[in-house]
Amino acid sequence: MDLMRKGAPSLTTTVEAYATSSPAWATAALLAAYTPILVIDADAFRAQRVARLLTLAGYRPIVASNPIEAFTRCMRGPWEPAAALIGAIDKTNRLSLTRLVEHLTRQHGAEPPILALPPIVPDVAPLHADPALPFFHTSSTGSLAFFDDLWKLLPRTRAMPAVPTSTLALDVLPQEGLLPRTSQTLRSSSRHFRQALNTAARLVARQGRTFTQWRTLLSDVGLAHAVALTRWPSADQLTAVGGADEEDDDTPDELNVPAISLSCLNQAMIFSHPDDPFEQTYTWGLVGTAEVIHHRKNLFLTQQAVKLLSRERAMHAALNALTKEMDEIRGEALHVWRARPDGSYLLVHYSNLYVYGRMWRQEPACHVWLGVLQAMLRFIHQEAQWFVTELECSCQTLTGHCVFAIRPRV
């Protein structure tokens, strides 16, 4: 099956063309929140591992395969990389590397920190679910060791959160019978990943981005391999109402996508709209879920059936359908909901997809899930009766688990 058949440009664009036609997707505010780090490595496999680690650790990677490409991106973008991580450099590019360092030195007023990449880069998330630990996420010693030298040079970029004395997921909810659990497979559905990826592509395309820019962004977050899965929309699809038709996708659905891939894709969407990144990820979740519901009428009850149910029964049916669907996407039971005495509902995502593996951030990062839940409420005609909030985000507690509340509007 040709995954690029729906209007996507050729993947044979030269590195130089892709570099010079890809201005940065960044603002001063975003770069203040996500320190830019330049990665130059001719070893594409290693460069992508580095990009994923940097993304999960809260940096804004700028990935280039050679110094000329790196120089072009630094000249065209608003960023001043705080450090450069250098891997394999061809001998013919040594002079270009020298000129790049001179350019960065003029920007900084001093030579920027430059670190050599190790021969082997770990492929484990900094905060990961160890199958040997059924309840807790733990720090990866190897992944954290990768950052030792970088954190010594840039100590302020290492997030040092205050350890919470109590969390909902690990302390409060277990007293109510909701024992935490962690992912044992650390995988997700390939069909879900393709759907999320292509919803994201359509969204940024409608915002005026090009396929070349999209490819650059995916490479920066360590998802260069996902370019081949992108169905870049044609001009007709950009003006059409509704999402693209995915029903002809006969590719087998397998549990072979690493959970961190969705976290990196979530971060790519944050980078894709620096003026309002959380509205961007919220819209992504809202639109993507609406498209899935549209193409899979049996996912939730039909709208006609919903009209026959009470508000509470409609909510129960929708939450049952959502948690069942998410468990199938993960291949294991990682999602639960509970009705509360005050008439609200709790929804818990264990080893939460879209932030799995992420290190500490000051703000919650699950706006995509808020969009998903809002789409669910719209489908059952309950958006005027309920509102959704995130009570606890793993990006702040580092438990790996996120808790949401669905509350009745007063």
Largest alpha-carbon pair distance within the chain?
Answer: 73
Q: So what's the pLDDT on residue 26? A: 81
CB 27 within 8 A of CB 17: no
CA separation for the pair 332, 319 (Å, rounded): 17
Q: What is the 3-state secondary structure (H, E, C) of 323-390?
A: HHHHHHHHCCCCEEEEECCCCCEEEEECCCCCCCCCCCCCCCCCHHHHHHHHHHHHHCCCCCCEEEEE
Q: So what's the pLDDT on residue 273? A: 93
Backbone angles phi, psi at 251, to 5 degrees: -65, 135
Name the residue with tokens 């309840």. 135
| H or E element at residue 139 | strand 137-139
Q: So what's the pLDDT on residue 67? A: 94
**Distance from first CA to last CA of the chain, Å, rounded?**
51
CA separation for the pair 41, 57 (Å, rounded): 19
CA separation for the pair 218, 25 (Å, rounded): 12
Q: Identify residue 108 by its one-letter amino acid code.
A: H
Contacts of 45 (CB under 8 A, 6+ apart): none
* Secondary structure class of 234 (helix, strand, coil): coil
What ranges do the domains of the chain cover? Answer: 187-408
CB atoms within 10 A of CB 160: 8
CB 62 within 8 A of CB 85: no
Q: In whole angstroms, how far apart are CA 319 and each of 347, 356, 390?
A: 8, 22, 16
Q: Which CATH number fits domain 187-408: 3.90.1150.10, 1.20.1440.120, 1.10.357.10, 3.90.1520.10?
A: 3.90.1520.10
CA separation for the pair 396, 161 (Å, rounded): 8
Q: Identify residue 376 by its one-letter amino acid code.
A: M
CB 86 within 8 A of CB 298: no
Quote the pTM value: 0.91
Name the residue with tokens 């006609």. 304
Helix, strand and coil percent figures for the chain, each rounded to 5: 45, 10, 40
Contacts of 322 (CB under 8 A, 6+ apart): 300, 335, 347, 372, 373, 376
Name the residue with tokens 């559905």. 189
* pLDDT (tens place) for every residue of the chain, 410 residues total: 333 333 333 333 334 444 444 555 788 888 889 999 999 999 999 999 999 999 999 999 999 999 999 999 988 888 889 999 999 998 888 888 999 999 889 888 888 899 999 999 999 999 999 988 888 899 999 999 999 999 999 999 987 666 678 999 999 999 999 999 999 999 999 999 999 999 999 999 999 999 999 999 999 999 999 999 999 998 777 766 555 555 456 788 999 999 999 999 999 999 999 999 999 999 999 999 999 887 776 665 555 566 677 888 889 989 999 999 999 999 999 999 999 999 999 999 999 999 999 988 888 899 999 999 999 999 888 999 999 999 999 999 999 999 999 999 97
